């Protein structure tokens, strides 16, 4: 009986690719890069097991928590999630970006990647074109007002 139970456990454990990725193995594709789903990454949010997503790449930063200059708390707040925005907002140095590579373990699965970048580019382009006329109009109006005030001031002093 003990052998049958072990056989069943082995068959159940090697079921589908999603079963193995739940254990944190990820799916390996061409080139040896492992792809992890958001569900795989979310479970790695503890101080003894910390993963982050930055620019669709997955990093196991558990060994770096105590070394982080900003403290481990800021990393643990983002643990198991996408930390790209926070990482970029801080403005990390080139050295920090290079150091990040040693903690690389894989990439975010294609199905879980955000597809909002083209929209952001369009929004910023439309914002720039609508505000470009204000870049010359406001200084022109200010110059006209200053000119009128100067004329008024000069003519008033000549009359007195």
Two tokens, residue 139: 């200084």
Predicted confidence (pLDDT) per residue in 106-149, tens digit: 998 888 887 655 444 444 455 555 567 778 888 889 999 999 99
pLDDT tens-digit map of 90-109: 888 889 899 889 999 999 88
- Residue holding tokens 């097991």? 49
Tokens of 74: 């800021």
Enter the pTM of the model: 0.56
Cα distance between residue 60 and residue 69, in whole Å: 17
| Spatial distance between the Cα atoms of 147 and 150, rounded to a whole number of angstroms | 5
Quote the strand ranges of 47-142, DSSP E.
Answer: 49-54, 57-60, 104-108
């Amino acid at each position: 009986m003990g052998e049958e139970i072990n056989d069943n456990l082995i068959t159940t454990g090697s079921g589908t690719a999603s079963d193995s990725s739940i254990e944190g193995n990820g799916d390996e594709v061409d080139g040896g890069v492992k792809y992890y789903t958001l569900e795989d990454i979310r479970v790695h949010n503890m101080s003894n097991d910390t993963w982050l997503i930055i620019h669709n790449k997955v990093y196991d930063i558990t060994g770096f928590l105590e070394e982080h200059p900003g403290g481990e708390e800021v990393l643990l707040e983002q643990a198991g999630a996408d930390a790209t925005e926070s990482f970029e907002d801080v403005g990390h140095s080139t050295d920090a970006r290079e150091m990040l590579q040693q903690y690389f373990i894989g990439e975010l699965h294609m199905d879980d990647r955000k597809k909002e970048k083209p929209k952001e580019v369009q929004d910023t382009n439309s914002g720039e074109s609508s505000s470009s006329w204000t870049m010359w109009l406001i200084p022109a109006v200010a110059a006209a007002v200053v000119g009128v005030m100067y004329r008024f001031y000069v003519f008033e002093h000549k009359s007195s």
